[in-house]
Amino acid sequence: MEKEYFAHPTAIIDEGCNIGKAAKIWHFSHIMPNCTLGENCNIGQNVVISPGVILGRNVKVQNNVSIYTGVTCDEDVFLGPSMVFTNVINPRSAVNRKNEYAKTHVGKGASIGANATIVCGHDIGAFAFIGAGAVVTKNVPAYSLWVGNPAKQMGWMSEYGHRLVFDKDGIAICEESKEKYKLENGAVTKI
């Protein structure tokens, strides 16, 4: 049976991977055993996806990204150039901690900027926005904006990636989509 995805000739795809229709895997990337890549995923140049990683439909992985075992991403996630996930809290070369991998989940539509680091065991909520160079050491709520090292929440973002400004009633409107959001009890929902 002919494969239904594109892989550049320099890409390495190990046995046991499940790669969705219309996915693209570019130069010098390595997809390790038992990974799942959803339909329409785009894996940039020089990407490493470790065993067991699951990427949902339409995930965009830019160049030089490392996605280690224990990471799952829902659909429409954006992973910026040279960002990295970790999977062990206290790594040591001489100590094998493969049985201590911590899990990290990235929610639907979230964006993680260039050179950001996501310390393992911290989940990223749906449509959250992690700025370039941020070092995430906490769970990130849906629709929140985080920047810095260590990363701190600086506001809220719409599903179209625009800052949300809430009125006295806790309502904000996305400048591009005109969709409405409500801020209540420290959480944002689309209304």
* Domain residue ranges of the chain, discontinuous segments joined by +: 1-157, 164-191
Q: What is the pTM of this model?
A: 0.96
Phi, psi of 120 (to 5 degrees): -60, 155
Taken in order 64, 65, 67, 72, the sign of the CA dihedral is negative
Residue 172, C-beta contacts closer than 8 angstroms, at least 6 positions apart: 156, 158, 164, 165, 166, 180, 181, 182, 183
| Architecture category of domain 1-157 in CATH | 3 Solenoid (2.160)
Tens of pLDDT along the chain (191 residues) come to: 578 999 999 999 999 999 999 999 999 999 999 999 999 999 999 999 999 999 999 999 999 999 999 999 999 999 999 999 999 999 999 999 989 999 999 999 999 999 999 999 999 999 999 999 999 999 999 999 999 999 999 999 999 999 999 999 999 999 999 999 999 999 999 99
Inter-CA distances, 46 with 10, 11, 155, Å: 10, 9, 33
Q: What is the pLDDT of residue 3?
A: 85
Q: What is the pLDDT of residue 1?
A: 56
